Amino acid sequence: MYCVKKINDDLYWVGGSDRRLALFENAYPIPRGISYNSYVMLDEKTVLFDTVDRAITGQFLENVEAVLDGRNLDYIIVNHMEPDHCATLGEIVRRYPDVQVVCNAKTVPIINQFYEFGVDSRAIIVKEGDTLSTGKHNFTFYLAPMVHWPEVMVTYDTTDKVLFSADAFGTFGAMNGNIFADELNFERDWLDDSRRYYSNIVGKYGPSTMTLLKKLATLDIQLLCPLHGPVWRSDINWYVDKYLLWSSYEPEEKSVMIAYGSIYGNTENAANILACRLADQGVKNVVVYDVAVTHPSVLISEAFRCSHLVFASATYNSGIFSSMEHLLMDMKSHNVQNRTVALMENGTWGITAGKKMAEIISQMKNMTILDDMITIKSSVKEDQLTEINAMAEAIVKTL
Ligand code: FEO
């Protein structure tokens, strides 16, 4: 049975959620599920905005059919050709053979790479600033390359001031009946997943996101319709402000994430002592994570939130503890930058972790590594408490 949500007089949400998928992109845990948003506009012409992941094909097709209520589908606007939004494009074309595909020049070859239905004969190719009228509604298209693929564009309905923002402003998390962000406690229940989504999926492309945000700053956006997560109809600037911080790699908070890789608990002990001394000195919202048990996507997200990062690693196989090495390489891949870093290393013999961590961090942009790395030999001793105190002081001084 169809399950749709009316957004305004002419616009309907026809997407769905997947609460079974363990790993989004086969990489990121999504314990709260994920929604794949798609929208239908009923005007003199009918318009579908993107499709959905194959996991919810049946629900989606029923939704589209129900909203169209016997009408033909005139246009499908393809803002993003990643399979979580295009896996059902072929089926839509098969069911609505007269549909015209509205996309930009970079989208066409990607459609032809995924599909054999031959998009060229039905494509309406749009460029930056081009418009399309469907009767009452007029749409303007803005290219948004690398937010998060090269062909991405966003579509602005100048009539109702609706922005179809593709992956931008999306979040992990299934939709649970309440489709509007103002019906949820977004800051309490969704912000962490939203940051984790941005930082891990789009975070590498901060400059591209900033370019898009500059374009959007000229628009009056009353309704924000992303491809994942809730629709925004109020407090949109609050969310845009988060994106301004994240895309410019500015920390959201002056706070500290301590990530440790510990084999027998001694490195963990040092991390915990440092966390206590930071808290003693007034630092709030300090977080401590065991890199072996916390998924790197959470740590990437926390690195986007916190101004200061501490990495404490045991030496392992003559190098960095493997989960810590994976985290640092992941941070580098996701373009984490502009942070102040402190390092702790541990080992019983042949201690190398600190030097090797510093080598990786030095390859990231604008990272300041504080002097006086702490070296622990097997376990923290009484006389090292002064060193840990001094590290806490050095961090507080630069907060
Ligand atoms: Fe939600 Fe880049 O796909």
* C-beta 80 within 6 A of ligand 1: yes
Q: How confident is the model at residue 395 (pLDDT cuts 50, 70, 90)?
A: very high
Same-domain check for residues 270 and 214: no
What's the chain's length in residues?
A: 399
CA of 10 to the centre of ligand 1 (A): 25
**Residue 397: what pLDDT?**
97
pLDDT given for residue 273 in this prediction: 98
pLDDT of residue 337: 98
- Cα–Cα distance measured from residue 57 to residue 183, given in angstroms and rounded to the nearest whole number: 27
CA–centroid distance, 84 to ligand 1, in Å, is 6
Average pLDDT over residues 126-155: 98
Ligand 1 atom index nearest CA of 152: 2
Q: What is the pLDDT of residues 206-240, one digit of tens each?
A: 999 999 999 999 999 999 999 999 999 999 999 99
Do 229 and 319 lie in a common domain?
no
Give the pLDDT of residue 55: 98
Query: Which of residues 248, 264, 280 is at a domain's end?
Result: 248
Residues 204 and 191 in one domain: yes
Q: Which helix (DSSP H) or strand (DSSP E) does residue 347 occupy?
A: strand 340-347
Tell me which residue has its CA closest to atom 3 in ligand 1.
Answer: 82
Residues 238 and 258 in one domain: no
In this structure, the answer to whether residues 232 and 377 fall within a common structural domain is no
- Which range marks the domain in which residue 339 is found? 253-398
Same domain, 230 and 358: no
On whether both 50 and 81 belong to a single domain, the answer is yes
- CA–chain centroid gap for 391, Å, is 32
Mean pLDDT of 163-186: 98
Angle between helices 385-397 and 266-280 (to 10 degrees): 50
- Residue 104 has a pLDDT of 98
CA neighbor of 162 nearest in space, from 35, 65, 41, 3: 41
pLDDT band at 121 (very low <50, low <70, confident <90, very high): very high
Residues 197, 309: one domain? no
84 lines ligand 1 (CB under 6 A): yes
Mean pLDDT of 297-306: 98
Amino acid at 73: L
Regarding whether 144 and 61 lie in a shared domain, the answer is: yes
Phi/psi of residue 224, each to 5°?
-115, 115
Of the three residues 215, 248, 281, the one that is the final residue of a domain is 248
CATH number assigned to the domain comprising residue 240: 3.60.15.10
151 lines ligand 1 (CB under 6 A): no
> What is the pLDDT at residue 89?
98
Angle of helix 296-305 versus helix 322-333 axis, rounded to 10 = 50
Task: Check whether residue 191 and residue 273 sit in a common domain.
Answer: no
**Structure-block tokens of residue 321:** 């503890």
Atom of ligand 1 nearest to the CA of 202: 2
Confidence class of residue 166 from pLDDT cuts 50, 70 and 90? very high
Same domain, 241 and 312: no
As for how many domains the chain has, the answer is 2
pLDDT cut 90: percent of the chain above it: 100
CA–centroid distance, 36 to ligand 1, in Å, is 9
pLDDT for 30-49, tens place per residue?
A: 999 999 999 999 999 999 99
Centre of ligand 1 from the C-alpha of residue 219, in Å:
23
Query: Closest Cα to residue 311, out of 261, 360, 352, 355?
Result: 261
Give the CATH number of the domain where residue 374 resides. 3.40.50.360
Q: Same domain for 243 and 261?
A: no
Determine the pLDDT at residue 19: 98
The last residue of a domain, from among 248, 278, 304: 248
Give the pLDDT of residue 78: 98
Cα 251 to ligand 1 centre (Å): 24
Give the per-residue pLDDT at 256: 98
> Which stretch of DSSP H or E encloses residue 113?
helix 107-114
| C-beta of 85 in contact with ligand 1 (< 6 A) | yes
Cα distance between residue 119 and residue 136, in whole Å? 27
